[in-house]
Each structure stands twice: as structure tokens, then as C-alpha cells.
Amino acid sequence: MKSEFICGTLEGFYGRPWRTDQRHQLFQWMQDWDGMNTFMYAPKDDLFQRKKWRENYPESELGELKELIQACHQKNLGFIYAISPGLDITYSSESDWDSLKNKVNQIQQIGCTQFAILFDDIPSEISANDQKEFSSISGAQAYVTNRLFEYLANFDSSLIFCPTVYCGKMAEYDVPGNAYLNEMGKALNEGIGFFWTGPEVVSTDIPVESIQELRQVINRKPIIWDNLHANDYDIQQIFFGPYTGRSLKLKNELAGILSNPNCQFWANYNPLRTLAMYIVETDSWNSRQSFLDSSKEWMQYFGNDELTLEEIQLLGDCFYTSGQLGKMGNQLVESVRCIMSKEPAAWGSRLEIFRKLETSLNSLCMKLMVTTNRDLLYDYYPVLWELKEEMEYMSKWISWKQSGAGKFKYQEMVPRRQGIIYEIQKVVHSN
Ligand code: GDL
């Protein structure tokens, strides 16, 4: 396994995989920035990666993969191919081992020398047949993973393992006491990399001590599978904010960081750019500053020169990172909270702030509608549209409140959300 710190992008989310041209754009970015050296291919919805892992790729798909591998290598980037057999593998089956070997051979023959085997989001029970051979799922996974590692060594290829317990929460916040992790740590060949997402699946913070503790258990430095900007679990979210919640000291405890970001390709400029900045930074890390710097570069991709930096930063601030809004996003929410809960006489500067941000958001939307980068627009469209509609609603509400007139008449927007998901959510999350 390469000893250099692995850093880059991991396409490992649920949903529509990125297109080939988008991946080429990504590789160009990664080549242009200092700090990134790796792309990992693991789209959950590439059928041959997960559900049909036993089947080899048909020629056309294989051709595309080959092109991607070559493009990475030409740009001096590593390409990791990940396979996810965990949904239905029989760990003790020779026939399944042959399928795994054949698949890896197929990928290895198109030039790939870095592999990962993923056991995330799979049943935690092993089959009756496997129970005859192994006393636990960890024993079963260690067996197959070590075997694959040894096989790959013949081709001078590396391997990273993604455990089924891949964050603190899944270990019930007791990593030292977790039997699965302890067993994996002992049984896995020490040359095999080990993924970890932090205390949570989506970790807003990754404390250094949490990784020091993990290292003792797994007997190696983990590679962070970073879901900070992943949004496949919530269609109303998108994250344009910076790499944050990780101190520079953390890097000493790790063998690498791969970011699994937004499904919408064009949402990922700041998230990935600022990760690259974090990697090369040695003295002090200011994630806000990195966001501001990265946003200046992000501007060139919007396809409309009339957009201002402030508008672009406002967009980023409204959709920042998981659980965190940026500065102007916070101002917007605070102004809404004040306006909705107080009488107009007590609104003070909050109303001005609201109006200013509303004007900027409207201007941003208008300019985005005519952008030449339509692909970027459609990536941002759904969330922007939702926000714009809420702003319109607020605006009407403010006018009504200020007028002192009878009942609020903008009923066509209330309730805005309908349909089965909303009906179920109303019941399930009613308190
Ligand atoms: C996960 C999945 C990942 C998904 C992410 C965010 C890992 C190891 N696996 O649990 O594919 O994109 O959550 O929803 O993180």
C-alpha cells in the first residue's frame, strides 16, 4: 500500500452517479490544486459495483472505466476501484471468491492498481453456511479481505477495507469495547487500509482523541471517509461550505482523507477545494477564510460574469455544511425568527437585514437563471427555488403585518408541502 497520505474525492454516495465529463472536470481540479492525489470510484448505484458485484462489466462500461483510470494516471492521480460484495456474499464460498477474483482481474487488466472492499450498509448477520465456518462477521470479513489483499499483492496492488461498523455511533460510542472492531484490528493484515467516518456517519467534528482511541483498536491509522458534505440522505440539503470541524493535528493520526461530497457535482467546488487547502496547510486552519478564498475561484464556473462575489458567498452561506449555516445564512434565519415572533415596532435592523438578503437572493436567482452553465444551474435549482419561495412568502407576510389589516391572505402557499412524504412526516415527527 502506498505510504503517502491519501487525499481526494470519493464518489461513494447513493443516487445518480456523476457523468464521465464531470469526473474529468474533477480530475482537472484535483490536478490543479495542491494536496489531492486520489479519486475513489464507489458509486452505490453503479450496479456492477454493488448489487451485481459478481458480474463483470459489459464492454462499453468497461471502456469508460478504463478511460477514467487512464485520465487519473495521466494527471498523476491515484484511482481506487471499490467493490461492495457485502449485500449477499457467502464469505466461505469458493464460487463467490472466484467471482470476486474475476471482477478484480477485469479491473486490474484495465490498469487499476488500487482497490477497496466495502462492507458498509449491509446485513450484520452471516448466512447459515458461513456460521459453520466463522464465529462472527468480523472473522468472515477478515478472511475474505486478507485473501484479496494477498491476491492483489501478486499485482503490486493495494487494498482498503470499509468496515460494517464504520463510526463511533455504530460502536455505540464505545470503540475500545467494540468486539467487531477489536477483532478486525487484530485479524486484518496490517498493510490493509481502514475506513472510518468519525464519531458519526456525518461527523460535524472529528476530535483528535477519538482517532487516537480508534488507532489503538484497529492497529493502524484510519483513512477518513468524510461525509461532511454528503447530501444523499436529504433532498432538501446541499452543501457549498468549507472543510471544517477538523483540526490540523488530526492529520497526524490519519493515513488519509477522502471526501464523499454532494450528489450534485457542481455543488462540490468549495467542499473539495477547501479540503485540498486543509491538506497543504501546516500552521493554522481557518475554515471560514478558506471558504472566502475558494468562493473567489468558484465564481468562474457560474457562467454569468454579472454575479457578484457577495451573491456567491451568500449562496454558500445559506447552504454551508451539515448542521451549520454560514454567516449570512445565520443572519437570514435570525431576521426571520425575529420578524415572525415580534411586532413590527420591535423588528429594528432585522427588517433591513432581511430586505438586503432578500434582494441579493433575488438577484442571484435571476442571474443564475440565465447562466451559460446550465448543468450547474440544474444542480442548484431545487434548493434555491425552495428558498426563494419561502422568501416570497415572508415578504408577503411582512407587508401584511405592517399593514395591520385583518387576516393574512396568501393562502395559496399554505400548506405548501403536500403528498405522501409530508403526510407521513406530519404523523411521525409531530412532536
Ligand atoms: C453512508 C454510506 C455512504 C453515504 C453516506 C451519507 C459510508 C461508509 N457509507 O453511510 O455511501 O453516502 O452514508 O448518506 O459512509
Res. 413: pLDDT tops 90: no
If you average pLDDT over residues 317-339, what whole number do you get?
A: 96
Question: Which amino acid residue places its CA nearest to atom 12 of ligand 1?
Answer: 13
**In a mutational test of the pocket of ligand 1, which residue from 9, 13, 225, 239 has the highest number of ligand atoms less than 8 Å from its CB?**
13
| Radius of gyration, alpha carbons of the chain | 24
Res. 2: pLDDT tops 60: no
State in Å: Cα 159 to ligand 1 middle.
19
Report strand pairing: 114-118 vs 158-162: parallel
If you average pLDDT over residues 100-116, what whole number do you get?
A: 98
Residue 50: pLDDT band by 50, 70, 90 thresholds? very high
Q: What percent of the residues of the chain are helix, what percent strand, and what percent coil, each to the nearest 5? A: 50, 10, 40
If you average pLDDT over residues 110-134, what whole number do you get?
A: 96
Q: How far apart are CA 390 and CA 259, in angstroms?
A: 31
Residue 141 CB–ligand 1 contact under 6 Å: no
Q: How far apart are CA 109 and CA 137, in angstroms?
A: 31
Task: Report the pLDDT value the prediction gives residue 423, as an integer from 0 to 100.
Answer: 86
Task: Report the pLDDT value the prediction gives residue 1, as an integer from 0 to 100.
Answer: 41
Residues 7 and 257 sit within 8 Å (Cβ to Cβ): yes
Residue 30: pLDDT band by 50, 70, 90 thresholds? very high
Task: Report the pLDDT value the prediction gives residue 77, as an integer from 0 to 100.
Answer: 98
Amino acid letter, residue 387: L
Query: What are the strands, taking DSSP E only, across 18-173?
Result: 38-41, 78-83, 114-118, 158-162
Task: Report the pLDDT value the prediction gives residue 84, as an integer from 0 to 100.
Answer: 98
Closest CA to 80 of 114, 49, 53, 105: 114
The owner of cell 440565465 is: 370
Task: Report the pLDDT value the prediction gives residue 236, as an integer from 0 to 100.
Answer: 86
Kindly report the number of other CB atoms within 10 A of residue 69's CB atom. Answer: 22
Angle at 213 between CA 208 and CA 217, to 5 degrees: 140
Residues 277 and 298 sit within 8 Å (Cβ to Cβ): no
pLDDT digits (tens, 9 = 90+) for 225-262: 999 999 999 988 999 999 999 999 999 999 999 999 99
State in Å: Cα 151 to ligand 1 middle.
27
Question: Which amino acid residue places its CA nearest to atom 6 of ligand 1?
Answer: 230
pLDDT digits (tens, 9 = 90+) for 362-385: 999 999 999 999 999 999 999 998
State in Å: Cα 416 to ligand 1 middle.
30
Res. 38: pLDDT tops 80: yes
DSSP for 283-308 reads S---HHHHHHHHHHHHGGGSS-TT--
If you average pLDDT over residues 293-322, what whole number do you get?
A: 97
Half-sphere exposure of 329 (CA within 13 A, CB side): 18
Whole-number percent of the chain with pLDDT over 90: 89
Task: Report the pLDDT value the prediction gives residue 99, as an integer from 0 to 100.
Answer: 98
State in Å: Cα 206 to ligand 1 middle.
16
pLDDT digits (tens, 9 = 90+) for 166-212: 999 999 999 999 999 999 999 999 999 999 999 999 999 999 999 99
Res. 270: pLDDT tops 90: yes
Res. 412: pLDDT tops 80: no
Residues 289 and 275 sit within 8 Å (Cβ to Cβ): no
**Please, which residues have CB within 8 angstroms of residue 262's CB and are 6 or more apart in sequence?**
229, 230, 231, 238, 239, 268, 271
Residue 175 CB–ligand 1 contact under 6 Å: no
Q: How far apart are CA 69 and CA 347, in angstroms?
A: 57
If you average pLDDT over residues 80-100, what whole number do you get?
A: 98
User: Which numbered atom of ligand 1 lies nearest the CA of 232?
Assistant: 14
User: Which numbered atom of ligand 1 lies nearest the CA of 42?
Assistant: 11
**In a mutational test of the pocket of ligand 1, which residue from 227, 238, 239 has the highest number of ligand atoms less than 8 Å from its CB?**
227
Residue 414: pLDDT band by 50, 70, 90 thresholds? low
Residue 201 CB–ligand 1 contact under 6 Å: yes
Residue 13 CB–ligand 1 contact under 6 Å: yes
Active-site annotation, residues? 121
Residues 159 and 189 sit within 8 Å (Cβ to Cβ): no
Question: Which amino acid residue places its CA nearest to atom 4 of ligand 1?
Answer: 13
CA–centroid distance for 256 within its chain: 15
State in Å: Cα 201 to ligand 1 middle.
7
pTM score of the predicted model = 0.96
User: Which numbered atom of ligand 1 lies nearest the CA of 118?
Assistant: 8
Closest CA to 140 of 195, 188, 190, 103: 188
Task: Report the pLDDT value the prediction gives residue 54, as an integer from 0 to 100.
Answer: 98
Whole-number percent of the chain with pLDDT over 70: 97
Residue 409: pLDDT band by 50, 70, 90 thresholds? confident
